[in-house]
């Protein structure tokens, strides 16, 4: 009688004496299956997290999620006016400074009083007027030649020299209800705006060359003046 030996497939688990899979091998295979299942679950979870991060990043960069407030680029950013924002005059000063920087001087018109005293010195031409709001809005366009950035925090020695000059009243008032906004552009324009306690602009001075503000400028050397009566339109160039 021939004894037959059962050859075992190498891919099959080893057999015990009663031809059943060895329990140790079975346990190892079970552990491997659990590891594979765990690895698969982690892969799915990591993929989901990556998807959520990419989606959130795309949403944050979308135009609808970006701030809508307009900002001034660092190259044109000016020194902030040193005014009391809690007072009406301070609020008007900040609005006027922003409008001048953005070349939107027409928006200042809403802050003018019923009349505005205006002095514009442009080279050899001096214009003085007691102007209605429309006329004052037209005269302030002379600032279109100014180049930023603007400095609204004039240093004390410079301000003192202007106060001592022929137009010192536009840079200092003993009346503490008056707010004065003074600015110097990068190319030498000067604007000084006087605002009353109600937040209304009542006076302003514009010069295209700061040197005319110095005390050494005598009355005899002042350029000829052009006076404009109230409500009379300014002369056009």
CATH 3.30.230.10, applies to 88-228: no
Tell me how crowded residue 68 is: count the other CB atoms within 10 A of its CB: 6
Measure CA 233 to chain center.
35
178 neighbors 91 (Cβ within 8 angstroms)? no
Render pLDDT for 13-30 as a digit per residue (tens, 0 to 9): 555 555 555 555 555 555
In the structure encoding, which two tokens stand for residue 106, read together?
Answer: 């027409």
85 neighbors 91 (Cβ within 8 angstroms)? yes
Q: What is the pLDDT of residue 30?
A: 57
User: What does the buried/exposed string (b/e) look like for 8-41 if buried means 16 or more CB atoms within 10 Å of the residue's CB?
Assistant: eeeeebeeeeeeeeeeeeeeeeeeeeeeeeeeee
Measure CA 27 to chain center.
68
- Every domain of the chain and the residues it spans: 14-60, 88-228
Q: What is the pLDDT along the chain (237 residues), one digit of tens a residue?
A: 555 555 555 555 555 555 555 555 555 555 566 666 666 666 767 777 777 777 665 544 444 444 333 333 333 445 567 677 778 888 999 999 999 998 888 889 999 999 999 999 998 899 999 999 999 988 898 898 999 899 999 999 999 999 999 999 999 988 888 999 999 999 999 999 999 999 999 999 999 999 999 976 444 445 444 444 444 554 444
Q: What is the pLDDT of residue 236?
A: 45
42 neighbors 116 (Cβ within 8 angstroms)? no
Query: Distance (Å, rounded) from C-alpha 228 to C-alpha 130?
Result: 7
CA-nearest of 210, 229, 202, 124 to 166 is 210
Q: What are 128's strand-pairing partners?
A: 119, 227
Global pTM exceeds 0.85: no
């Amino acid at each position: 009688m021939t004894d037959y030996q059962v050859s075992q497939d190498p891919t099959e688990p080893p057999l015990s004496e009663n031809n059943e899979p060895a329990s140790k091998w079975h346990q190892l295979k079970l552990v491997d299956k659990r590891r594979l299942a765990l690895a698969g679950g982690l892969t799915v979870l990591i993929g989901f997290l990556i998807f959520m991060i990419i989606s959130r990043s795309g949403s944050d960069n979308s135009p609808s999620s970006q701030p809508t407030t307009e900002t001034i680029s660092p190259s044109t950013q000016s020194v902030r006016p040193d005014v009391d924002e809690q007072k009406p005059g301070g609020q008007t000063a900040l609005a006027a400074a922003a409008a001048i920087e953005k070349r939107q001087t027409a928006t200042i018109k809403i802050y003018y009083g019923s009349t505005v005293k205006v002095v514009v010195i442009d080279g050899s031409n001096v214009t003085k007027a007691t102007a209605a709001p429309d006329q004052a809005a037209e005269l302030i366009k002379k600032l279109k030649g100014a180049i930023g950035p603007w400095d609204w925090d004039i240093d004390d020695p410079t301000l003192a020299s202007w106060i001592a000059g022929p137009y010192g009243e536009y840079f200092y008032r003993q009346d503490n209800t008056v707010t004065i906004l003074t600015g110097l552009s990068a190319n030498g324009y000067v604007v000084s705006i006087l605002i009353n306690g109600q937040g209304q602009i009542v006076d302003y001075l514009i010069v295209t060359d700061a040197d005319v503000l110095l005390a050494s400028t005598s009355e005899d050397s002042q350029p000829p003046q052009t006076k404009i009566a109230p409500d009379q339109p300014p002369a056009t160039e």
